[in-house]
Amino acid sequence: MISKIKSIAKSFWYFISSKVFLINLGILAIVLTILFFLLSMWMKSYTKHGSSLSVPNFVGMDVEDAMRASKKNKLNLLVIDSSTYNPKVEGGLILEQSPVPDSKVKEQRSIYLTISKYIPNDVVLPELVGNYDATNYARKLQRKGLRSQISKKIFDANQQPNTILYIMIDGKKLTDDDISKGVSASEGTMVDLIVTEQGGTFTDLPDLNCLTFSEAKFIISTYNLNLGSIINDATVKDQKNAYIWKQRPVFAAGRTIDIGSPIDLFLTQFKPSTCN
């Protein structure tokens, strides 16, 4: 048995060490090397391996102009969203893009755009009944794409300060009865709030934590207070939409403050995890 195994092993060794086998093995290695090289070249050509384009900055451009420019850059532009209507911004302007400018992408990559609206939508004003607090009502208006401001304060010793008495749009007075029947306005419309005040030298200290900077500024004005120092942390790129993570003086329930006092705001770009 052992001698038979030795004989088989000896024959196998003679075979793999023969000149014919070695020549065929060399030919096979050369053929595989050539095939691997050709396949690699084809893959690089097919996938454009190692080649990329730098994404231009389309933000601020008219979408039609950007579409023409994208053809020269061999990119596909897709409009995926329109922002809330802004009367100060011309319709069709690119506000955001993804990927961001200067990103490296392949040819024919899709670039997704957010553009400004051409025509505002009509929205129904929120109910005033149960929402007489000017601060809360202003937030509801903002969520619907409407702007607001306190245009007049009327002394009223019987109601809490900042209580809405009525509103006005384009000079037309609207009471809670009018609004309950349904009142529509175009996005971007300014809503004037006429609110109560009680006079005196003190006002409640508002809680501004977790609000955006634009919301906090509005609330500060409704309480007859002034905006103090604004302290941005390293993340803040868009101050208007940054969040308040700290205020000075520190809020406490029932705390009052002199009318006209400044409030310092500490901003961070993203909503703090402690906020609901």
Alpha-carbon span 70 to 13, nearest angstrom: 66
Alpha-carbon span 255 to 171, nearest angstrom: 37
Whole-number pLDDT of residue 158: 76
Mean pLDDT along residues 256-264 = 87
Alpha-carbon span 161 to 140, nearest angstrom: 19
DSSP reduced 3-state for 272: coil
- Phi-psi domain of 69 (left: phi exceeds 0; alpha: psi -120 through 50; beta: other): alpha
DSSP reduced 3-state for 55: coil
47 has pLDDT over 60? no
Q: Do 122-268 and 53-115 fall under one CATH topology?
A: yes
Domains of the chain, residue spans:
2-47, 53-115, 122-268
1.10.150.120, 3.40.50.1110, 3.30.10.20, 3.30.300.20: which CATH number matches 53-115?
3.30.10.20
pTM over 0.85: no
DSSP 37: H
pLDDT tens for 173-195 read 998 888 988 899 988 889 999 99
Mean pLDDT along residues 68-77 = 81
Asked if residues 218 and 138 have their Cβ atoms less than 8 Å apart, the reply is yes
- Report the interhelical angle of 134-143 vs 213-222 (nearest 10°): 150
112 has pLDDT over 60? yes
Whole-number pLDDT of residue 175: 87
Class of CATH domain 122-268: alpha beta
Whole-number pLDDT of residue 32: 78
DSSP 239: G
Alpha-carbon span 258 to 138, nearest angstrom: 24
Smallest CA-to-CA distance from 233 within 267, 273, 265, 209 is with: 267
Helix (H) or strand (E) holding 165: strand 164-169
Asked if residues 89 and 60 have their Cβ atoms less than 8 Å apart, the reply is no
Alpha-carbon span 167 to 176, nearest angstrom: 9
79 has pLDDT over 70? yes
Could you tell me what percent of the chain has a pLDDT over 70? 86
